[in-house]
Amino acid sequence: MTTTGSDSTYDPPADPAASAAAAAEEQTPPRTDRRVALVTGASSGIGAATARRFAAGGWHLLLSGRDRRRLEETASGTSAVLLPADLAAPDGAKMLAEAALREAGRIDLLVAGAGIGWAGPFMTMPHTDIDRVLFLDLNATLHLVREVLPAMVAAGSGRVVLVGSVAGAVGVREEAVYSAAKAGLAAFAEALRQELRGTGVGVTLVVPGPVETGFFARRGRPYHRSHPRPTSAGRVAAAVWDAVSESRDDTYIPSWLTLPSRVRALTPGLYRKLLDRFG
């Protein structure tokens, strides 16, 4: 019985079932009929181009990066949701995964594109930069995949796209730690693919050569080799789209970049002579 001034009204007892349903509805993340892609490193370069390609293909995008203003530029003209995050921060991967699942209710595709570079002789590389490259290019990606994967496996579908590099396939001088991180990513992709067999979840490793982005400026040295020539971020994004559409395990951009790895595997001596000559 509730009394207000001289008026009295009767409040019927709440229906427990209705109350529970209302509470569940409040806690249930919003759902979308479109497939959901979480793209990291989406503030620039390959990540931004890939996000735009999937948005054009009708996917619902969750975009993550450290620079909100640039994320807004990537999302312009789309219905993408921005989830700024620093994957180098403690629990950064966990917090991003939780925010993404809270926002969309599911993740059908993870494009792990966040990463940094460093160029110069290994003996001059500061220890802090060794740790930073390894953490952002390898550890943070593994932690994010670990957070996202259980929901995909439970759903019986999904795909993880790992953005590697030809440096991880062949090793590039004066990019020793970056090469090591990307090689680790390639090994992780192969091992994880085997573990996920039969779950409905796939793993794609994207292996681009040099790409025309701000990556080289940010690492502290411009790209100076005459070969291979840099390709565009849009071309890499198109290759990612095709690989996901066709459920490919690996894709090299350009495709001839598979050749150095084959030469290295079949004739390592010849490979190293060519590397000494052409770099």
Residue 178 to residues 29, 175, 208, 245: CA-CA distances in angstroms?
38, 5, 14, 29
Q: How confident is the model at residue 11 (pLDDT cuts 50, 70, 90)?
A: very low
Q: Give yes or no for a contact between 113 and 40, defined as CB atoms under 8 angstroms apart.
A: yes
Cα separation, 48 vs 46, in Å, equals 6
pLDDT at 19: 45
Q: Which of 10, 178, 252, 271 is catalytic?
A: 178
- Between 238 and 116, the higher pLDDT residue: 238
Half-sphere exposure of 276 (CA within 13 A, CB side): 6
Query: pLDDT tens digit string along 30-56?
Result: 555 789 999 999 999 999 999 999 999
Cα separation, 54 vs 160, in Å, equals 14
223 counts as catalytic: no
Query: pLDDT tens digit string along 213-224?
Result: 555 555 556 555
Residue 3 has pLDDT above 90, yes or no: no
Residue 117 has pLDDT above 90, yes or no: no
Spatial CB neighbours of 263, under 8 Å, sequence gap ≥ 6 = 270, 271, 274
pTM score: 0.80
Half-sphere exposure of 108 (CA within 13 A, CB side): 15
Q: Residue 30 — φ and ψ, nearest 5°?
A: -60, 145
Select the highest-mean-pLDDT range: 121-135, 199-213, 217-231, 260-274: 121-135
Handedness of CA 156, 32, 38, 101 (dihedral sign): negative
Q: Residue 259 — φ and ψ, nearest 5°?
A: -65, -50
pLDDT at 4: 41
Q: In degrees, to the nearest 5, what angle opens at C-alpha 40 toward C-alphas 39 and 41?
A: 125
Q: How confident is the model at residue 7 (pLDDT cuts 50, 70, 90)?
A: very low
Q: How confident is the model at residue 28 (pLDDT cuts 50, 70, 90)?
A: very low
pLDDT at 32: 58
Radius of gyration from C-alpha coordinates of the chain? 23
